[in-house]
Amino acid sequence: MAKGIVIYYSRSGNTKQMAEIITGAMNEAVRVWDTRSGEYAFQVSCQWGLAGVDWSPIGTRFASAAYDHSVRVWNAQTRRVETRLRGHSAEVNGVAWAPDGRRLASASADGTVCVWDTEQGRGLRALAGHRGPVWDAKWSPDGAWIATACDDGAVRVWDPETGAERACLTSPQSAWRLAWAPDGSFLVSAHKVGIFRVWDVRPAG
């Protein structure tokens, strides 16, 4: 990836801050932009290597995923790290906030997804079962499920409360990115060879 290319984007979920977006680039900086002026409001260094960013739904915090195996939770007003979450044994490829703005999921090259309580700064559980690096994790709109995308081609759906696997959706191509339908009934996965798959994840019956 060429230096300076923006590779991550996340818009604030706070209605008072909807004019702000956050971007990041490998080995560059996390920047918070004011879309009204087109200028960035502030930036923070990511010399540890940036792999993903996500705004909290509340809008006052954002999280970053790093190659140093950790997750950082930032206060967008003070521009400082509130919490550094450690628990992965390899680089963290992505982070995703739960709709409650408290829990956070992190996807890692160690093959696991960790669920964190960001208020207490502790891990709640690890979701294990993939056979390769996990590239993405996304909460369902109601926060009841976490979907994960893995290099092994599997898309798995988990219960974040128990850590139980609800479904394993397999494909021959590496799964990289995920997106839920607004009502949580369908899941879209993006794969390495430029293929998108749409999965019906509604309960049977």
Total Cβ atoms within 10 A of residue 111 = 21
Residue span of the structural domain in which 144 resides: 8-200
Query: What is residue 19's predicted lDDT score, i.e. its pLDDT?
Result: 46
Q: Which of 200, 192, 190, 188 is nearest to 174 (CA)?
A: 192
Whether 2 is in a domain gets the answer no
Q: What is the mean pLDDT of residues 181-204?
A: 92
Supply the pTM of this predicted model. 0.84
Whether 193 is in a domain gets the answer yes
Whether 127 is in a domain gets the answer yes
Q: How many domains does the chain have?
A: 1
Under the banding of pLDDT at 50, 70 and 90, the label for residue 104 is: very high
Whether 106 is in a domain gets the answer yes
CATH number of the domain within which 173 lies: 2.130.10.10
Among 105-114, 119-128, 168-177, 196-205, the minimum mean pLDDT is found in 196-205
Q: What is the mean pLDDT of residues 130-156?
A: 96
Tokens of 117: 């309580």
Q: Which of 96, 88, 202 is nearest to 139 (CA)?
A: 96
